[in-house]
Amino acid sequence: MTATLAKAERPSQRSRALARFVRHRGAVVSAFVLVLIIVAAVAAPLVESWLGHGPNEPDLGKRFQAPSWAYPLGTDEAGRDVLLRLMYGGRVSLLVGLVAALASALIGTTIGILAGYYRGRLDAFLMRLTDFVIALPTLALLIVLAAVDLKKVGIPDSIAYSEAVSLYRIIFIISIVSWTGVARLVRGATLSMRTREFVRAAVALGAPARRIILVHILPNVVGPVIVATTLSVGGIILLESVLSFLGLGIQPPIASWGNMLSNAQELLTQAPQLVIYPGLAIMITVIAFNFLGDGLQDALDPRAGE
Amino acid sequence: MMRFIVIRALESLVVLALMSFVVYGLIGLMPGDPIDIMLAGDPNMTPEDRIRLRALYGLDVPIYQRYFTWLGAALGGDLGYSRTFSRPVLEVMTPYLGRTALLMFTSFLLSVAIAIPLGLLAAVRQRRLADYGINLFCFAGKSVPPFWLALMLILVFAVELNWFPAGGIETVGASGFVDRVRHLVMPVACLTLLNLATVARLMRAEAITAMRQDYVRTARAKGLNERRVIWGHAMRNALNPVVTVIALEFGTLFSGALITETVFAYPGMGKMIYDAILGNDYNLALVGLLFATLLVLVGNLAADIGYAVLDPRISYR
């Protein structure tokens, strides 16, 4: 009993952060919207079995159909179910967004901590590298990377031309250009942590660098990393959609919100709704992730959000 | 000051050299071999011809050797031929470069000219209706898929309202200044909207910080009217960090230009690079990418110098 009382008197860090998050109305609504989108993506096979047809089954006799019970959002230019394709496309967008954001966070955190902790030449080198990557015309470079023939890198045919490879490839190439923001942030945080008493005490006690980094510094830079990672998911989903739209990302028949729009220009006059739906899906998801990141920033790092 | 500019320019050159090596290597990994493409066009070629051709084009030596051969030629002004245009790359590229510069420069100036007052307005009306409106607008601008924004502009202003042409740079047969401007309106508007949000949001944040500073309080205490305080003191000081971020936004601006050009069929560098990569035009893609990098680096450099000029407190390393 006493323990709960003490808790009630002095709210913990965590509950105060939660209170700040809840006050950010946009973030709460966004979290709700994201849950809906995730549920829709997860439920895609279920809806598929209800409707009785797949997302990638072309039926040229049923092109451009109006919404009906069998096709809740109608059909596209190849007679495929638009709703199902949106739901399956959502899986791809969310997967790419989350995995690539996590991978970039991992790369960025490693580089940032190493640069901030060891300083000196390593820091100078890593930060130059970061500046180099930032200065690149990213999209043009990604187009080149997406066009690289995997066979020429020595990847066997069976993998290089398999269906799922476009998914892994896009996650990989987006990750290698998206880590710069996190790296700079973590470096800054590490530099300031390094001067704090508890870190200096650990150094004085003779703790090895690995222990100081993992036990003393890493837990203290996690907050800003979570914020930056959440904020980066939206940008990554946008990047994936752009590459897929240009025909260099997720390859058909796998549906993605971007490649659903690759014929958009011809569809604009004929069936504008086919252009509007996937774009809205992307925009709503990205706005939600951006608001969520904003809310997390207020919650975890109240001084930075001003 | 001069020293600072020289050092920054040298750094940019190093970046460009690194980029040229990376891209040269990557281009070699793209599908389709230039020799295979040649062979496909002539059924009489034998495997021996293939080996001879590879040697003739210097493709039988290691990649770094090929790179230095290429670099030597490039520095001597020989950037190679474009496969699809059958003309020297530089000659093909120049008009594209000019058109992209026009698109990017116009959108850049417009977006800064709109974003700075917008961010300032949001800061002055903090937590009021105008602030929330601008904030929502910025979130939307950062979250909209760039190509989709372009498509929506086409849907509304070209397909539905028929105010502006949906793409291209001029109507066939009807050339003229007004016609060209009409073709520019939508690509410029699209790129401006894409670029606006980041600058406006940052301007708001910086202006809010600036307005809490002592010099603003002093200015108010002196009895300056609010307009002088905001435009003369708060904005002037908020501008410096904004300029540095704009510097880092040049790469994003080019990415936006690439998408805008592709959707609006605007023959600029972005569309040229994209078409060159898809069309296996290696020389054009390589040189196009390098010039795009150069464009971004020059933009960054200009903004860095602008920052140093704007803020007299900066000491030039």
Cα distances (Å, whole numbers) of residue A91 to A45, A55, A87, A173, A239: 11, 13, 7, 19, 16
Residue A5 pLDDT > 60: no
CB contact under 8 A, A144 and B289: yes
| Model confidence at B63: pLDDT above 90 | no
Whichever domain contains B110, its CATH number is 1.10.3720.10
Q: Do B274 and A148 touch (CB under 8 A)?
A: no
Same-domain status, B53 and B133: no
Res B41: pLDDT? 67
Nearest CA in chain A to B29: A148
Report percent pLDDT > 70 for chain B. Answer: 91
CB contact under 8 Å between B255 and A138, yes or no, is yes
pLDDT tens per residue, range A40-65: 888 878 877 777 777 777 777 777 77
Same domain, B106 and B210: yes
Report the residue from A144, A264, A282 with minimal CB separation from B26. A144
- Choose the most confident range, by mean pLDDT, from A249-258, B41-50, B51-60: A249-258
CB-CB under 8 Å, B27 with A144: yes
Backbone region of residue A80 per phi and psi (left: phi > 0; alpha: psi in -120 to 50; beta: other values): beta
The verdict on B58 and B183 lying in the same domain is: no
Looking at the structure, tell me whether residues B138 and B184 fall in a common domain: yes
Verify that B80 and B109 share a domain, yes or no: no
Say yes or no for a CB contact (<8 Å) between A134 and B248: yes
| Boundaries of every domain in chain A | 13-56+66-300
| pLDDT > 90 in chain B, percent | 6
pLDDT tens-place string over residues B7-33: 888 888 888 888 888 888 888 777 766
In total, how many domains does chain B have? Answer: 2
Which residues of chain A lie closer than 8 angstroms to B293, CB-CB?
A: 135-137
Domain presence at residue B310 = no
Give the number of other Cβ atoms within 10 Å of residue A153's Cβ: 9
- pLDDT confidence of B317, banded at 50, 70, 90? very low
Q: Domain check: are B113 and B256 in the same one?
A: yes
Domain residues for the domain of B26 are: 2-88
The candidate with the shortest Cα–Cα distance to A233, out of A299, A291, A290, A300, is: A290
Mean pLDDT to the nearest integer, B193-210: 87
B120 within 8 A of B230, measured Cβ to Cβ: yes
Q: Chain A: which residues have CB within 8 Å of chain B?
A: 131-132, 134-141, 143-145, 147-149, 152-153, 234, 238, 241-242, 245-247, 258, 261, 264-265, 268-269, 272, 275-276, 278-279, 282-283, 286-287, 290-291, 306
A246-301: pLDDT as tens digits: 888 888 788 888 888 887 777 777 777 788 888 899 999 999 999 898 888 888 76
Are both B82 and B207 inside the same structural domain?
no
Mean pLDDT computed over B240-259 = 81
In a domain, B252, yes or no: yes
Q: Looking at residue B261, what is its pLDDT?
A: 92
Residue B260 lies in a domain: yes
Model pTM?
0.86
A240-A104-A164 Cα angle (round to 5): 45
Q: Is residue B287 part of a domain?
A: no
Domain ends where: B88, B113, B131? B88
What's the pLDDT tens digit per position in A211-260? Answer: 888 888 888 888 888 888 998 999 999 999 999 888 888 887 888 888 88
* Residues B100 and B243 placed together within one structural domain of the fold: yes
Virtual torsion, Cα A237, A240, A242, A243, nearest 10 deg? 170
Top pLDDT among A157 and A233 is at A233
Residues B107 and B242 in one domain: yes
Mean pLDDT of A10-19: 75
In a domain, B79, yes or no: yes
Q: Note whether residue B316 is domain-resident.
A: no
- Interatomic CA distance for residues A184 and B223, integer angstroms: 42
Banded model confidence at residue A302, pLDDT cuts 50, 70, 90: low
Asked if A139 lies within 8 A of B143 by C-beta distance, the reply is no
Q: Which two tokens stand for residue B72?
A: 């030597």
Q: Kindly report the backbone phi and psi dihedral angles of residue B30, in degrees, each rounded to the nearest multiple of 5, phi listed first.
A: -75, 155
Domain boundary among the residues B88, B117, B143 is at B88
d(CA A92, CA A96): 6
Domain for residue B288, yes or no? no
pLDDT digits (tens, 9 = 90+) for A78-116: 667 778 888 888 899 999 999 999 999 999 999 999 999
Residue B190 maps to a domain: yes
Q: Between chains, do B147 and A261 touch, taking CB under 8 Å as contact?
A: yes
Asked whether the beta carbons of residue A143 and residue B259 sit closer than 8 angstroms, the reply is: no
Pick the residue from chain A with its C-alpha nearest to B151: A265
* Structural domain ending residue among the three candidates B43, B60, B88: B88
Same domain, B83 and B105: no
The domain A13-56+66-300 is placed in CATH, from the list 1.25.40.10, 1.10.10.10, 1.10.3720.10, 1.10.150.120, at: 1.10.3720.10
Average pLDDT over residues B67-81: 81
Same domain, B179 and B256: yes
Phi-psi region of A10 (alpha: psi -120 to 50; beta: other; left: phi over 0): beta
Same domain (yes/no): B269, B134: yes
